[in-house]
Amino acid sequence: MIAKKDLPVCPVATTVGLIGSKWKLLILQQLLKERKRFNELRRSIDGISQKVLTQNLRAMEADGILVRYAYAEVPPRVEYELSELGNSLRPIISEMDSWGVEYLNTLKDMQEAE
């Protein structure tokens, strides 16, 4: 978890520091849909390694963005879900998605005009 004294003064920089990596955003996008097991996340995020997924999940859990559920079963089962704080990121991710769609459409229109 990032200590409060180590957070940037700028709120945008704080947000980027917590969720600004490519992998964290893609993890968030998947967990906004539903609770997922580790391997479900790994399969749904193209190109992410097991190590990188584990590191990002641990960091997001420490920052309070997601909750990890470990079940005492054989074989062990672990699931991840957004916390209340993580769910509060829903409008931000939704806006990023909308902007990305708009940008891609603009690019397409520009290419067709050439």
Band (pLDDT 50/70/90 cuts) for residue 99 is very high
Give me the mean pLDDT over the 69-89 stretch: 94
Q: What Å distances lie between residue 50 and 30, 43, 81, CA to CA?
A: 16, 10, 18
* Per-residue pLDDT reduced to its tens digit, 8-27: 678 888 888 888 889 999 99
Would the pLDDT of 39 be above 90?
A: yes
Q: Please tell me which residue, 13 or 88, carries the higher pLDDT value.
A: 88
Give me the pLDDT at residue 88, please: 95
Domains and CATH numbers, the chain: 4-113 (1.10.10.10)
Taking the model in full, what pTM does it have?
0.83
Greatest Cα pair distance in the chain: 60
Band (pLDDT 50/70/90 cuts) for residue 44 is very high
What tokens were used for 89? 């990121």
* Per-residue pLDDT reduced to its tens digit, 50-78: 999 999 999 999 999 999 999 999 988 99
Residue 67: its H or E element? strand 66-71
